[in-house]
Structure formats: C-alpha cells, structure tokens
C-alpha cells in the first residue's frame, strides 16, 4: 500500500502485530448463522440468549443499520478482521473491506471462504479511498478514526463514495476522556486538553478529535446527522476485567459514542 505519512506506517505495524498476537478484533467470526442474524436484526433474542453470538453482535450498534442490507453495497472501513464484513455478507450485502493491515484483510477472506460468499479487500489508509468509485456505496460501516490526525479527511472520502441517501456509521471517543489512564487506584487525566497526539508504547499513534470537527465536519461534508448513541451508558463493569484494560475503562469512564449520518448532497 501507499503510505501517506509516518502515521500510516506506525499504525499498519501496530495492527499487523495485533494480528500476530491474536487480538480479539483480528479473529474472524466463524460461528454465525443466517437465521440467528435475522432474528437479531428483528430484535428476537429469545433463542440465542446465553450464547456468545449476541455479545459479538451487540457491538454492531445501531442494530437498525443491519435491517435492510440485502443487495446493497457496503464498505467496512478500517474494520477488517472477518467480523462485521461476515455479518453484512450473510445478510445479503455486497461487501468491500478497506483496512490498513493485510493480516486483518486475510481474516475477512478467511471468513468469506468459510461461509461461501465473495468479498473485496483493499489494503489502504481510511484517508485515501481513491481505489473506490464515487457514489458506489449505500452504507459505510466504519470503526474509530482515532488513528488518523484529521477526521475531516475521512468524512470527505466517505461522502464522495456514498450514494445520495447512503448511511455512514462510525464510533468516536469523547475528546475530554481520550487520554485517561489507570494509575493503580483510579483513572486520571494524563494530558492537557489541547494535546491531541498520543504516541503509544506499543508503537501506535492515536489522535484526539474535537467536538467541532466531529460534528461540523459531517455537515461540511454533506453528511447530515441521523443518530448519536452513548455506547457505554448501560455497560456494567465486568467482574473479571483488569483495571486499565479497555473493557474496564469503558465501563467506568464511558465517553464512547456511535454516530450515524446520511449523505444529503449540497
């Protein structure tokens, strides 16, 4: 792939290492069933409660974005790993995946081979979707853009490839709590609010995005707000979560929300 800058080099390396370590986000979901997915989309959990699948699927918020995808063109952006792409494909969508890590895309191909559907995979940076034609997707399902410095670049590319009326889903971390860390007793703020770059110990580079860029950036890219979901407001602390881990932090700090926007045109 063509690297845009040191950020793309660093974060490609980060996620290739995560693939090697077997991080949970890199392992394809190979135990999904179409009928169960349809029941999940309709809100019928009675026959699948207590199994692992609902715990996977509940993170695909909002559930409504899965309700009408058959025959539609869906881009899974920066969420390789054979997880979200498998759900969309099993529900009848034509799926493309763009991810910075080749190892992540291999998991998407593995899931496609397992279930018997086709998937297009492209290794690339979410800021550069030039391999994709304009107005070619009905849905862009994206994960957090914290790995790029300018969220508006992502919005611009997403808007270009979405058809009129198409939906863009992403998740965002509230900037005030982005750089909170566990100190052995509790969570504390480690950087002043104006600092927006975090060079992680594992080699990754993260960026804080501010509220005006998050929301005004959507409007400037002809993406109108449809829904905002506070992802952590009902999350109870897991009794076995290690302090400082993502699972533990998200239950205590919150700060993560999901955005759904629609391509409206200018």
In a domain, 1, yes or no: no
pLDDT for 46: 54
pLDDT for position 209: 95
pTM of the model: 0.92
Is residue 47 predicted with pLDDT exceeding 80? no
Q: Contact 109/119 with Cβ under 8 angstroms?
A: yes
Per-residue model confidence (pLDDT) at position 155: 97
Domain span at residue 65 reads 6-263
Which spans in 119-245 are helix H?
A: 151-161, 211-220
Q: Could you give the number of structural domains in the chain?
A: 1
CATH at residue 254: 3.40.50.150
pLDDT at 266: 61
In 174-222, which ranges are E strands?
180-182, 187-189, 197-199, 205-207
Q: For 184-218, b where at least 16 C-beta lie within 10 A, e where not — what string?
A: eeebeeeeeeeeeeeeeeeebbbbbbbeebbbebb
Look at phi and psi of residue 203 and say left if phi exceeds 0, alpha if psi is from -120 to 50, else beta. Answer: left
Nearest to 136 by CA among 112, 155, 152, 157: 157
DSSP state letters, 148-172: SS-HHHHHHHHHHHEEEEEEEEEEE
- Higher-pLDDT residue of 254 and 211 is 211
Which pLDDT band, with edges at 50, 70 and 90, does 49 fall under?
very low
Instruction: Please say whether the beta carbons of 120 and 97 come within 8 A.
Output: yes
Distance (Å, rounded) from C-alpha 179 to C-alpha 192?
Answer: 9
Predicted confidence band of residue 52 (pLDDT cuts 50, 70, 90): very low
pLDDT at 152 over 70: yes
Q: Could you tell me which of 261, 146, 169, 181 has the C-alpha nearest to residue 215?
A: 261
Ordered DSSP codes for 72-88? -EEEEES--SSSHHHHH
Q: Does residue 124 lie in a domain region?
A: yes
- Number of H helices and E strands in the chain, helices first, is 8, 11
Mean pLDDT of the chain: 90
Q: What contacts 24+ positions apart, CB below 8 Å, involve 145-149?
A: 145/78, 145/170, 145/172, 145/209, 146/173, 146/178, 146/206, 146/207, 146/208, 146/209, 147/7, 147/11, 147/78, 147/100, 147/204, 147/205, 147/206, 147/207, 148/7, 148/207, 149/7, 149/196, 149/197, 149/207
| Share of residues in the chain with pLDDT > 70 (%) | 94
């Amino acid at each position: 792939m063509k690297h845009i800058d040191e950020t793309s080099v660093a974060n490609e390396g980060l996620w290739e290492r995560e693939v090697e370590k077997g991080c949970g986000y890199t392992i394809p979901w190979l135990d999904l069933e179409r009928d169960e997915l349809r029941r999940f989309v309709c809100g019928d959990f009675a026959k699948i409660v207590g199994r692992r699948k609902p715990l996977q699927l509940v993170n695909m918020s909002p559930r409504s974005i899965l309700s009408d995808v058959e025959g539609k063109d869906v881009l899974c952006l920066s969420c390789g790993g054979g997880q979200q792409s498998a759900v969309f494909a099993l529900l009848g969508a034509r799926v493309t995946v763009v991810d910075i890590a080749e190892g992540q895309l291999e998991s998407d191909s593995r899931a496609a081979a397992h279930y018997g559907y086709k998937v297009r995979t492209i290794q690339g940076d979410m800021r550069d979707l030039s391999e994709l034609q304009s107005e070619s997707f009905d849905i862009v399902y994206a994960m957090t853009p914290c790995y790029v410095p300018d969220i508006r670049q992502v919005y611009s590319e997403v808007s270009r490839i979405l058809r009129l009326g198409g939906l863009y889903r992403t998740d965002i971390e509230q900037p005030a709590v982005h750089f909170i860390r566990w100190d052995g007793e509790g969570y504390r703020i480690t950087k002043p609010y104006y600092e927006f770059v975090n060079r992680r110990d594992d080699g990754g580079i993260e960026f804080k995005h501010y509220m005006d860029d998050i929301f005004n950036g959507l409007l400037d890219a002809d993406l109108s707000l449809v829904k905002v979901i506070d992802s952590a407001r009902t999350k109870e602390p897991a009794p076995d979560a290690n302090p400082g881990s993502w699972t533990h932090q998200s239950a205590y700090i919150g700060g993560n929300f999901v955005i759904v926007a629609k391509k409206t045109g200018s």
